[in-house]
Amino acid sequence: MISPGSIDLFSSSMTLNGRQQQYLHEADMKRLQGFYDCIFPSEPKPMLLRRVDVIKSVLYHGEHFQVENSDKVNCNIIRAKWLKVGFPLVIDPKEKFARSGTIQRILLTQHIMNGVKQHMVLFDVDWFSMHDEPYAYGHHVHMYHKNVCEPGPYSFIPIQRVLSKCALNMTDFSNISVNIVIPLPGQWAF
C-alpha cells in the first residue's frame, strides 16, 4: 500500500488552467471514495468534499496534459503504474506492469484530514482493456483492445503516478482492430 506521505498532494511545480467548480454525482462520489479509501487506509478516514474543480489543462514538471483537443497533441493518452493485470483494487508501488488509458477529466479534489483541508490533482482515466498478446510489437509498445475497462475507484490516478504521455495508433492485428500505444519522449518516459 502507498502511504499518504508518499503522495505529493499538490505541487508548486504545477500550473492548472481553466478551473470550473462542479459537484460530483453520486456514482462519481462512490468511485472517488473507493479511491480515497485505498490510498488512505488508516483511521480516521479523510472527509471528502463533493465540490471539485474540473481543470481544462495542467502543466506538471514540464509535461502538458489536457482533455479538449487532445487528439492533435497527444496530451491525454497516458501510461501509469497503478493497476494489477487482473484489476483488483490494489495499489502496489512495486507493480511492474503499466497500463495505458485516456484522460477523461482532470480534477482538483479536496478533502479534510486531521482538521486540515488538502487538495489532490487526479486524472479520471478510461483504461484500455489489455490484449491477450500485449507485447506483440515489442517491450515498450503495448497492444490493447479498442474497448475500455469499466470505471471504478481505480479510474482515478494522482498525476504523480503517470509514467509517460503516449501516442495512440489504431491498427489490425490478427484481423481484429486494436490500439497500439507508444510512450512519447519526455521527462517521465520509460
Burial of 164 (0-12, 13-18, 19+ CB in 10 A): buried
User: What average pLDDT does the segment 21-29 reach?
Assistant: 94
Residue pLDDT, tens place only, 118-163: 889 999 999 888 788 877 887 778 888 888 888 888 889 888 888 8
Closest CA to 78 of 91, 67, 86: 67
pLDDT of residue 23: 94
pLDDT, position 100: 87
* Cis amide linkage into residue 134, ω under 30° from 0: no
Q: Is the pLDDT of residue 95 over 60?
A: no
For the question of whether the overall pTM of this predicted structure is more than 0.85, the answer is no
pLDDT for position 51 = 93
Q: Name residue 119's amino acid.
A: H
Phi-psi region of 85 (alpha: psi -120 to 50; beta: other; left: phi over 0): alpha
Q: What is the pLDDT of residue 84?
A: 46
